[in-house]
């Protein structure tokens, strides 16, 4: 499974770290063991279906636990027999 998540916390961070709540979600993705790629507007992950789903939820919850008073996670999921590399190699 390949998925992309973009978290949109409110507020996005703190006075000292303006992206703290976004970075909390990214830290969960990095620690998940899934293959991931951070982009300017979201992070793409690839791996086992169950692990991807649980990681997406954990990233959303981490954004809130970091201090966001609310937030929306935009999620795209592809159940395909392809990899992130196979979908992007032509353009790299």
For 17, 34, 56, 67, the CA distances from 9, given in Å and listed in that order, are 13, 23, 15, 9
Question: How many structural domains are present in the chain?
Answer: 1
**Domain membership flag for residue 90:** no
CATH number at residue 54: 3.30.70.930
pLDDT tens-digit map of 22-81: 999 999 999 999 999 999 999 999 999 999 999 999 999 999 999 999 999 999 999 999
Report residue 1's pLDDT band, with 50, 70 and 90 as the boundaries.
very high
Range of the domain at 15: 2-85
In a domain, 91, yes or no: no
Residue 92 lies in a domain: no
Express the helix, strand and coil content of the chain in percent, nearest 5 each: 40, 30, 30
């Amino acid at each position: 499974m390949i998925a992309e998540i973009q978290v949109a916390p409110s507020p996005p961070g703190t006075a000292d770290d303006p992206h703290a709540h976004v970075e909390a979600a990214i830290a969960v993705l990095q620690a998940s063991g899934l293959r991931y790629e951070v982009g300017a507007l979201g992070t793409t992950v690839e791996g086992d279906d169950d692990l991807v789903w649980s990681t997406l939820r954990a990233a959303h919850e981490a954004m809130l636990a970091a201090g966001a008073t609310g937030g929306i996670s935009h999620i795209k999921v592809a159940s395909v027999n392809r990899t992130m590399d196979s979908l992007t190699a032509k353009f790299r």
